[in-house]
Amino acid sequence: MRKSTVAFKTAPETGLIKVDLAEAVNSFAELYDLLEDYSPMWYSEEIHDRAQSALILLRESLGIEPALKSPTKKQESFEYSVRNR
């Protein structure tokens, strides 16, 4: 897994933290990958679909290829268990 380095900058005039949007999308993608890899009990198919849709939308808005990981054996098992609950 790639180590994330998000550039957080504080705007002196407002004190608000600014984040590079592309880095924020990359961080979101890493969180998505973690959810896909570990598939916690609460990670339902509905949440998976919402997260996947958000990631695709964010990447497309930045012109980034929406390449998502191909399903692993663990994910296929998770998807099977979710469908058969």
Secondary-structure breakdown of the chain: helix, strand, coil percentages, each rounded to the nearest 5: 55, 5, 40
Tell which residue, 24, 30, 28, has the closest CA to residue 6. 24
Containing 29, the helix (H) or strand (E) segment is helix 21-38
Summarize pLDDT for 5-49 with one digit per residue, the tens. Answer: 455 566 666 666 666 788 888 889 999 999 999 999 999 999 999
- pTM (two decimals): 0.58
Query: How far apart, in whole angstroms, are the C-alpha atoms of residue 12 and residue 50?
Result: 35
In the chain, where are the structural domains located? 20-83
Using pLDDT thresholds of 50, 70 and 90, give the confidence band for residue 4: very low
Q: Backbone dihedral region of 75: left (phi > 0), alpha (psi from -120 to 50 degrees) or beta?
A: alpha
Model confidence at 60: pLDDT above 80: yes
For residue 28, the model assigns a pLDDT of: 92
Model confidence at 74: pLDDT above 80: no
